[in-house]
Structure formats: C-alpha cells, structure tokens
Amino acid sequence: MTRTMRAALLRGFDQPLTVEEVELLDLAPTRVLVRTKATPFCSTDVASFHGRLGKVPPTILGHASAGEVVEVGSMVRGIEVGQRVVVPGTPECGNCFYCGIGRPDQCGELFDIGGVYPDVARTADGLVVNAAGCVGGYAEIMNISQHQLLPVDTDLPWEVLSLLGCGITTGVGAVLNVARVRPEEVVAVVGAGHLGLWAVQAARLAGALEVIVVEPDEERRRVAQSMGATRVVGPEDALEAVRAVTQGRGADKVIEAAGPPAAQRLALEISRRAGTVVLSGLKDAAVEVALPQVPFAVQSRQVLSTQNGNVRMRRDLPAYIRLLERGALDPKPIVTATYPLDDINTALQRSERLEDLSGVFVF
C-alpha cells in the first residue's frame, strides 16, 4: 500500500490546522493500519486547539474513529485485512493493573504514557508527527495499537459507527454503567451537546420518570426535547425545575456533560441528598472545580467521574450496536454535518460556536 497519506496537523496552538501529505512511519509488530472511513469532530479538540489539554504539536487530533483494516503488524492476532473496525478513545490491553480489575476505561496503555503519544508519520519538512489520544483520526490512515480497535459485524453507516468510539459510549455509559439509572428515577442532564443528548436517550431507555435537561442554548434545548427530555431549562432555572418534580428534594441522578466548572457545581447543587452525580465534561486540564462542602461532604452524595462511560468495549459495543440497529438510539439529530478533511477548520469553528452537535469527517 502507499506509504503516504493526507492528515490535518495541529502545528501550533491557536493556528489554523493544515491538511498536508505526510509519510507514514514503519508499522510496529503490534500495530495496525486502518483506512479511516469516518471520524467525528469532538468538542474537546477545540480545547486542544487552544493548548488546554496538553497536546504536543505537531500532532493529529481526533481520538475516536471507524475504518477498514489495510495492514497488520507481524505479531497482531485476531485482526484481519478488510475488517470493519471501531477505534475507541481508550484501548483495552488486558494486561495492565486497570484492565486486571475490570476497569479498562483507565487502561495503562493510554493513561500511563504521560501524554507522550506514539509517533506515526513525518512531514515533508522532516518533523515527526504523533497521534493524539493514540488514534489520530483526522487523517486518511490511522496507525493503531491492536488493543485499540474492535472488529464489528454490522451494516450501520460509517459516520454512525465512528460515534461509538467516544460520544455514544460516554453518554450512554454514564447513564447505564456509572449512574445506573433505574425505572421511575428523576434524572437531570447538565449540557445538551452530543454527550448530553446520548445521555438523554439512555435515561429514557432506562425508564427514568423525568429527564430534565439544563442547557443555555435555545436550539440545543429544542433538540433535547425532541429526543425525549421531559423538561428543558436554562441553568438559572435548573434548581427550581428539579425541585418542582421531586417534592423539593433534587434529582436522583445527575449527569454532567458540559465541562465548565460552573456546570459541574450546578450538577451537585441540583442533586438530592444521597443522590448520584456523574461528571464527564472537560474544558481545560488546568482548571479546578470548587464545590460547596456541605452537599459534597456530609449529605451522602456519590460524586463520580467517568471516562468513556466506564465501558468495557468488548462487552458494551455489541449492545450499543443493537440499540442503534433497532432505532432505540437515534443518531440523526446528533450528526448535524458531514465534512471532507479539507474543511477541518470549518468544523472546528462550528463546534466552538455551538453550531454543530457532532460534525463528522467522511473519507
């Protein structure tokens, strides 16, 4: 196969990404080349663009994707050329401490490398390029660890499959795996971006009595209501709205899917005593969150965080695919645009202006 590809490079923070032809580095024995078919633009890459998440240029952003295997390393087993694969945001090596205790969402193959991501290509001017998140999905070809791709047997469109690497797993997993929403519970979702909207759908599937969405953007509130939210309010009305349907207690389960510290504090404040708060948003690695001590420390809330919905991809991915195939999870309102790779900066700008929920690059 060709040893060159086109990729969108982050060469410097707050500088437009450049789409360039780069030379692929040699394939290591335990890695796989995947021809990219679709990669969603994630809002966290807006933060990466501004230098807030510790990425080191030149890098290829895009931390979840879907594609077709085109080459496998000599030591790779169970992966074959021609297979359709989902490339999730987190590997499952099966060997590290966290995989050993049943928490592959914290797999050491990603989180113990200190942000030093694998080098995958070289630019025409001789710079070595790394793959952010060990994926580098904003490129025609990805160089992926054998532990970070999962073959799938489904006819779902590529752009939908690509959402299974991050958005669906995080939003649905936050509800089902972390909050463990039960029938008749009152659920509040703070933030109606793509993660929040997947959480809304999952809460309805779990049988929630009420799903209250807290979102400042009017258009996103409208989408949330169309997808099953029973009430949609702005942040200033959140506490009153939740108390109105819980006899003044607060929500049983709160899913935070926004990112700003104020949203995470609000998630705590609208939960009830002995309720559960799940935090999943991230805007800046350097930011600290201040929480009021009484509800945080002495009112028996469970305040949990989640990475990729605490999913076990080999267990959860087939179930989520079945939900998509049956129409129980609906991606149509969430995929608001598709783009060629050359429109990388347009997708970034539209994400930052909240004009897209999920913009997806289709190759």
Q: Which element (helix H / strand E) includes 48?
A: helix 44-49
Ordered by where they begin, the domains of the chain are 4-151+333-362 (3.90.180.10), 171-306 (3.40.50.720)
Q: Which element (helix H / strand E) includes 361?
A: strand 358-362
Stretch among 66-80, 103-117, 280-294 having the lowest mean pLDDT:
280-294
Query: Do 93 and 112 touch, CB atoms closer than 8 A?
Result: no
Q: What is the mean pLDDT of residues 281-303?
A: 92
* d(C-alpha 349, C-alpha 339), whole Å: 13
* Six-digit token string for 61: 């952003």
* Six-digit token string for 236: 């200033």
Q: What percent of the chain has pLDDT over 90?
A: 97
* Six-digit token string for 120: 């995958």
Q: Is the model's pLDDT at 1 over the cut of 90?
A: no
**Which residue bears the tokens 């104020």?**
262
250 secondary structure, DSSP code: -
Q: Please state, as a whole number, how many other Cβ atoms lie within 10 Å of the Cβ of residue 309.
A: 30
Instruction: Give residue-wise pLDDT tens across range 159-190.
Output: 999 999 999 999 999 999 999 999 999 999 99
* d(C-alpha 242, C-alpha 235), whole Å: 11
Q: What confidence tier does 2 reach under pLDDT thresholds 50, 70, 90?
A: low
DSSP reduced 3-state for 5: strand
Question: Between the CA of residue 307 and those of 64, 161, 187, what are the distances in Å?
Answer: 13, 19, 20
Instruction: Give residue-wise pLDDT tens across range 318-342.
Output: 999 999 999 999 999 999 999 999 9
Q: Please state, as a whole number, how many other Cβ atoms lie within 10 Å of the Cβ of residue 135.
A: 34
Q: What residues are paired with 303 via a beta bridge?
A: 277
* d(C-alpha 48, C-alpha 14), whole Å: 9
pTM attached to this predicted model = 0.94
Q: Is the model's pLDDT at 284 over the cut of 90?
A: no
Evaluate the CA torsion angle 144, 148, 154, 158 in order and state its sign.
negative
Pairing mode, strands 119-122 and 186-190: unpaired
Measured at the CA of 105, the angle between CA 101 and CA 110, to 5 degrees, comes to: 105
Q: What confidence tier does 313 reach under pLDDT thresholds 50, 70, 90?
A: very high
Instruction: Give residue-wise pLDDT tens across range 206-229.
Output: 999 999 999 999 999 999 999 999
* d(C-alpha 272, C-alpha 251), whole Å: 5
Concatenating the DSSP letter of every residue in 265-320 gives HHHHHTEEEEEEEEE---S-TT------HIIIIIS--EEEE-SGGG--HHHHHHHH
